[in-house]
């Protein structure tokens, strides 16, 4: 019972009185009592019908709105979903709906929540406000079925180059004709003077993988105003399962960003470079107005004892990977990126916010697809969390996650100094007592008789 202290006590009585569902009332004492579904929650499309699905235990009613476009215009129709078992709402709509945009609306406590594309959206229109029904097969580039990941036998065989999709080609000196775009990242024969840039430069470096800073759909960039100066690293998640539109040639057409992301991955693979995606499941860009909260208020986040949002991310909220449906979402999302986009690895931002069993479950599921897919993350948090330290996927617990690696901030800070202190220096700048941090990083931060942990920054 002690673990329940970390969740606010709830007393939710949900009344349903629409013409589509019989009146029912459900009482939940806390989030642990919410029903769990094991069925897939992805949109189920084929040319004959589309099945819309959403999980919402506190919903009194759910409807889907259909649109011709992803931006502006009025909806063409609405239809109500049926409440099946375990709070799984669904609607089977006949006909070929590919290319149709849609949103969900959920009625909670007599109030229709703002429209949401749904957390399992796979395609979205401009700025990610509406999802689109997509035939994913039609987004595959030529030869996609023969595309192969870059194979590695051991994690320490990887040589990773971290980059931002926009940054590497945004300056005119990059020589790119596709500045700031997915396809610009893999554009060949670009130069500055006699020197290679872009993918040709990456090949010259001898790397095995690129680590793309967050490239799923995020909040901060207004995709309708790309001619105006805008910038963000992408650590403000909006739609976790859709590529960011500002990196595509046409953010208004939901299929384009998907197709161009796949073309980028395929081109990297053809040049013997794997693609690692930076994933930020630890927090969302919004809290009260997030897609998570529009579906199931409160459930997907951790709270303090007083009911306020816990904030181990330092960004206003932290997600609750230890709750079954958040764990389900994270596993499904990672597997989707691995399978649909042929990704070679995943770097977990603030991995310490996630619980150990969830990270192990993700790694196990991914390794069943391809044992060479690389999983690693930041083994720390940015603040305190209700999740006890012994359950966190932090560096000291890495030995409990045999298929997951942790980023070494010790060797980074030992070489160059702390990233959080402007005047901090490291070994290369003449700082003293940094040798042990570097030695520890070289041998993978394991116990070693030639590393003196006493009195060093590693203690």
Asked if residue 50 has pLDDT above 60, the reply is yes
Parts of the chain belonging to CATH 3.20.20.80:
144-442
* Active-site pick, 223, 355, 378, 410: 378
Model confidence pLDDT, tens digit, residues 260-319: 999 999 999 999 999 999 999 999 999 999 999 999 999 999 999 999 999 999 999 999
Q: Are strands 274-279 and 209-212 parallel, antiparallel or unpaired?
A: parallel
**260, 349, 410, 436: which is the annotated catalytic residue?**
349
Q: What local confidence, expressed as pLDDT, does residue 420 receive?
A: 83
Is the pLDDT confidence value at 105 over 60?
A: yes
How much is the pLDDT for 4?
Answer: 32
3-state secondary structure of 124: strand
Weakest mean pLDDT among 165-174, 315-324, 414-423 = 414-423
**Does residue 459 carry a pLDDT above 60?**
no
Q: What pLDDT, on a 0 to 100 scale, did the predictor assign at position 454?
A: 73
- pLDDT band of residue 16 (cuts 50, 70, 90) is very low
Question: What CATH number has the domain spanning 2-115?
Answer: 2.60.40.10
Contact predicate 401/360, CB 8 Å: yes
What confidence tens digit (pLDDT) does each residue in 66-97 have?
Answer: 999 999 988 999 999 999 989 999 999 999 99
- Residues 6 or more apart from 413 whose CB is under 8 A from it? 419, 424, 426, 437, 457
Per-residue model confidence as pLDDT tens digits over 410-444: 888 899 998 888 899 999 999 988 888 888 888 87
Average pLDDT over residues 126-150: 98
- For the segment 330-382, what is each residue's pLDDT rounded down to a tens digit? 999 999 999 999 999 999 999 999 999 999 999 999 999 999 999 999 999 99
Residue 49: how many other CB atoms lie within 10 Å: 13
Confirm if 136 and 243 have CB atoms less than 8 A apart: no
Between the CA of residue 98 and those of 71, 209, 417, 443, what are the distances in Å?
17, 34, 52, 52
Beta strands at 101-108 and 131-132: parallel, antiparallel or unpaired: antiparallel
* Annotated catalytic residue 378: yes
Burial 180-209 (b: 16+ CB within 10 A, else e): bbbbbbbbeebeeeeebbbbbbbeeeebbb
Mean pLDDT over 121-133 rounds to 98
Q: Which is more confidently placed, 385 or 422?
A: 385
Query: What pTM, to 2 d.p., does this model score?
Result: 0.92
The C-alpha torsion from 322 through 326 and 328 to 333, rounded to 10°, is -130
**CA–CA separation, 144 and 163 (whole Å):** 24
- Average model confidence (pLDDT) across the chain: 92
Would the pLDDT of 39 be above 70?
Answer: yes
Give strand pairing partners of 210: 161, 275
How much is the pLDDT for 383?
Answer: 96
Residue 249 confidence (pLDDT):
97
What kind of fold does domain 144-442 have according to CATH?
TIM Barrel (3.20.20)
34: pLDDT confidence band, cut at 50, 70 and 90? very high
Q: Say whether 153 is catalytic.
A: no
- CATH code 2.60.40.10 region(s) in the chain: 2-115
Q: Which of 6-10, 103-107, 439-443, 444-448 has the lowest mean pLDDT?
A: 6-10
């Amino acid at each position: 019972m002690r673990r329940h202290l970390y969740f606010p006590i709830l007393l939710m009585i949900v009344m349903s009185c629409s013409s589509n569902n019989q009146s029912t009332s459900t009482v939940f004492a806390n989030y642990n009592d919410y029903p769990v579904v094991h069925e897939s929650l992805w949109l189920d499309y084929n040319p004959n019908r589309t099945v819309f699905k959403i999980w919402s235990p506190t919903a009194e009613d759910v409807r889907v709105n259909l649109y011709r476009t992803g931006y502006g215009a009025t909806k063409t129709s609405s239809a109500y979903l049926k409440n099946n078992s375990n709070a799984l709402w669904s609607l089977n709509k006949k006909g070929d709906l590919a290319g149709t945009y849609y949103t969900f609306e959920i009625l909670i406590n007599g109030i229709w929540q703002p429209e949401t594309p749904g957390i399992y959206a796979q395609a979205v229109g401009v700025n990610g406000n509406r999802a689109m029904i997509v035939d994913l097969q039609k987004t595959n580039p030529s030869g996609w079925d023969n595309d192969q990941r870059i194979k590695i036998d051991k994690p320490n065989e990887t040589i990773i180059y971290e980059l931002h999709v926009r940054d590497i080609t945004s300056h005119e000196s990059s020589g790119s004709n596709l500045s700031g775009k997915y396809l610009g990242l893999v554009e060949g024969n670009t130069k500055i003077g006699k020197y290679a840039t872009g993918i040709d430069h990456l090949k010259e470096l001898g790397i095995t993988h690129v680590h793309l800073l967050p490239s799923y759909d995020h909040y901060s960039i207004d995709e309708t105003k790309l001619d105006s100066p805008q910038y963000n690293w992408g650590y403000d998640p909006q739609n976790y399962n859709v590529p960011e539109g500002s990196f595509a040639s046409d953010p208004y057409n939901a299929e384009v960003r998907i197709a161009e992301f796949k073309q980028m991955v395929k081109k990297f693979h053809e040049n013997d470079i794997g693609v690692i995606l930076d994933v930020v499941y630890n927090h969302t860009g919004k809290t009260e107005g997030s897609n998570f909260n529009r579906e199931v208020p409160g459930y997907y986040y951790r709270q303090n004892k007083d009911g306020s949002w816990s904030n181990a991310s330092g960004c206003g909220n932290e997600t609750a990977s230890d709750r079954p449906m958040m764990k389900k979402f994270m596993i499904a999302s990672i597997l989707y990126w691995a399978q649909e986009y042929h990704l070679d690895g995943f770097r977990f931002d603030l991995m310490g916010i996630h619980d150990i069993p969830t990270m192990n479950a993700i790694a196990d599921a991914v390794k069943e697809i391809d044992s060479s897919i690389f999983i690693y993350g930041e083994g720390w948090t940015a603040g305190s969390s209700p999740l006890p330290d012994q359950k966190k996927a932090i560096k000291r617990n890495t030995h409990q996650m045999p298929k997951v690696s942790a980023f070494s901030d010790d060797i980074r800070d030992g070489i160059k100094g702390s990233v959080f202190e402007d005047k901090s220096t490291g070994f290369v700048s003449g700082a003293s007592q940094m040798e042990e941090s570097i030695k520890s990083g070289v041998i993978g931060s394991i116990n070693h008789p030639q590393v003196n942990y006493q009195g060093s920054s590693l203690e």
